[in-house]
Amino acid sequence: MGETKSGIGKPAKAAAIVVALITAGVLVAVGLSSPPAAAAAKATCGGSASKLTVQGTGLAMGKPNLLTVSVGITVTDPTAKAALDDDNAKATSVIDALGLSGSAAKDVQTAGLTIDPQYNLKGAITGYQVSNTLVAKLRNFSTAGSVIDALAGAAGNAIRIDGLDFSVEDTRSLEDHARNDAVRQAVSHAKSMALAAGERLGPVCSLTDQSQINNFNQSFRASDQAAGTPLASGASVPLAPGSQQETAQVTMVYALTAAPLGK
């Protein structure tokens, strides 16, 4: 019986020794594979972590596809009713001319109507002036000049062109391109600045769109076109749509980590 117990005990002791050696080996291996204590800490976005803030400005250019025309009709008559009737008739003629040119009803809008008494030097009323403002959207640039000529013909000497504005009707695609350009610029700035400072970029902690989209488009103002002076006839008004520019701005915050020596 003693031999049997002694035979069983030796394998158990041997197994325990093997397990201990394996465990020690695992611990040694783990110790050898762990990074040295002097290695740079991983960059984080914590409150005390080093950070880099950069801004980027993006630009995008587009071709206008909409012309907005502001047309004024101004008349003066002895009575308010006569002036209003006169102005109504001319405004109706202008609206009809826009319809004949292909403008949809949804693209023509009354933007203002005023009735003002006119006085002489003694303060007595001498008549009434009525001004009616229409805003029309023209989408066919090839005929836009002829349309303006037709409007002048419809209102006669009462016509007043307050402004012509070219624009891109839906700017969402342009705005996205401008924002993308702004982000690319911000990333480029961050890489350059981190390299110069001997740092490495960590994760992006924040990305903020600070865009206040501005539409820079070619426009023609004719506010100095006095009522009673019709546009010249015989040739279409020459129009140049030019281009429209969208701008965007973003701010990015990066976490920083010190670059390893020699890097």
Q: What is the pLDDT of residues 200-247, one digit of tens each?
A: 999 999 999 998 755 545 444 433 333 333 434 445 788 888 899 999
- Dist. CA 201–CA 53, nearest whole Å: 11
Which of 237, 217, 215 shows the shortest CA–CA distance to 225? 237
Contacts of 180 (CB under 8 A, 6+ apart): 58
Q: Give how many domains the chain has, as a whole number.
A: 1
Where b means 16+ CB within 10 Å and e means fewer, 129-160 reads bbbbbbbbbbeeeeebbebbbbbbebbeebbb
Is residue 4 in a domain?
no
Is residue 249 in a domain?
no
Is residue 138 in a domain?
yes
Contacts of 263 (CB under 8 A, 6+ apart): 200
Is residue 71 in a domain?
yes
Q: What is the CATH number of the domain that holds 80?
A: 3.30.70.2970
Predicted confidence at residue 259, as pLDDT, reads 67
Structure tokens at 46: 């914590």
Global confidence as pTM: 0.66
- Dist. CA 41–CA 56, nearest whole Å: 28
- Dist. CA 131–CA 203, nearest whole Å: 61
Predicted confidence at residue 71, as pLDDT, reads 96
Is residue 123 in a domain?
yes
Q: Reduce the DSSP state of residue 219 to 3 states and report it.
A: strand
Place of tokens 């826009």: 98
The C-alpha torsion from 202 through 57 and 184 to 242, rounded to 10°, is 170
Is residue 235 in a domain?
yes
- Dist. CA 145–CA 136, nearest whole Å: 13
DSSP-derived letter for residue 37 is T
Predicted confidence at residue 140, as pLDDT, reads 92
Predicted confidence at residue 38, as pLDDT, reads 35
Is residue 153 in a domain?
yes
Predicted confidence at residue 18, as pLDDT, reads 39
Predicted confidence at residue 239, as pLDDT, reads 87
Which of 60, 59, 58, 41 shows the shortest CA–CA distance to 50? 41
Low-confidence ranges of the chain (pLDDT < 70): 1-43, 213-235, 259-263
Is residue 151 in a domain?
yes
The C-alpha torsion from 224 through 148 and 214 to 109, rounded to 10°, is 100
Which residue range forms the structural domain that includes residue 119? 64-169+219-240
Cβ–Cβ under 8 Å, residues 74 and 129: yes
Alpha helices in 101-222 (DSSP H): 141-155, 172-196
- Dist. CA 91–CA 134, nearest whole Å: 8
Contacts of 255 (CB under 8 A, 6+ apart): 43, 44, 45, 49, 50, 51, 201, 202, 203, 205
